Structure 1
Amino acid sequence: MSVAENIKLIENEITGKGVTLVAVSKTKPVDALMQAYNAGFKRFGENYVQELADKYEQMPKDIEWHFIGHLQSNKVKYIAPFVSLIHSVDSFKLLQEINKQAAKYNRVINCLLQIYIAEEDTKSGMTEAECSEILDSEALKTLLNVNITGLMGMSTFTDDEQQVRKEFRKLKSFQASLLSAHPYLQTISMGMSGDYPIAIEEGSTMIRVGSRIFGNRIYPA
Structure 2
Amino acid sequence: MDKKKLSAIQRDLPKDVVLIAVSKTHTKEEIDEAYASGCRIFGENKVQEIKEKYDPNYHWHMIGHLQRNKVKDVVPLVDMIQSLDSLRLAEEIEKQCAKIEKVMPVLVEVNIAREANKTGILLEECLSFVKQCMSFPHLDVQGLMCVGPMNGTTADIEACFEKMQVLYHTLQNEYGAERIRYLSMGMSQDYALALKHGSNMIRLGTIIFGQRNYNK
Interval of TM-score (by shorter of Structure 1 and Structure 2): over 0.9
Which residue does the alignment assign to 2:35?
A: 37
Report matched runs for 1:110-129 at 5 Å: 110-129=105-124
Q: Quick check: 1:62 aligned with 2:68? A: no
**Matched-pair contact (CA < 8 Å) for 1:3–1:35:** no
Which residue does the alignment assign to 1:107?
A: 102
Structure 2, unpaired ranges of 5+: none
- How far did 1:218 drift? 0.6
Q: TM-score, normalised by structure 1?
A: 0.91
Report matched runs for 1:177-216 at 5 Å: 177-183=170-176, 184-216=179-211
Which residue does the alignment assign to 1:8?
A: 7
- How far did 1:159 drift? 5.2
Secondary structure at the counterpart of residue 193 of structure 2: helix
Q: TM-score, normalised by structure 2?
A: 0.93
Q: CA RMSD in A?
A: 1.6
Between stretches 77-86 and 187-196, larger displacement belongs to: 77-86
Which residue does the alignment assign to 1:50?
A: 48
Report matched runs for 1:70-89 at 5 Å: 70-89=65-84
Amino acid at match of 2:151: T
Q: Deviations over 1:144-167 (max 9, x none)?
A: 111000001111112511100000
Amino acid at match of 2:6: I
Q: Quick check: 1:95 aligned with 2:90? A: yes
Which residue does the alignment assign to 2:157?
A: 164
**Matched-pair contact (CA < 8 Å) for 2:134–2:141:** no
**Matched-pair contact (CA < 8 Å) for 2:112–2:123:** no
Amino acid at match of 1:14: L
Secondary structure at the counterpart of residue 53 of structure 2: helix
In structure 2, the CA distance between the partners of 1:106 and 1:123, relative to structure 1 (3 Å rule), is same
Q: Percent identity?
A: 36
Secondary structure at the counterpart of residue 136 of structure 1: helix
- How far did 1:3 drift? 4.3
**Matched-pair contact (CA < 8 Å) for 1:115–1:152:** yes
Amino acid at match of 2:28: V
- How far did 1:83 drift? 0.6
> Aligned equivalents of 1:27 and 1:136: distance in 2?
35
Q: Deviations over 1:8-67 (max 9, x none)?
A: 221112134x211000000001110010122342210000110111111xx3x1211011
Q: How many residues end up aligned between the 2 structures?
A: 214
Secondary structure at the counterpart of residue 181 of structure 1: helix
> Aligned equivalents of 1:75 and 1:217: distance in 2?
24
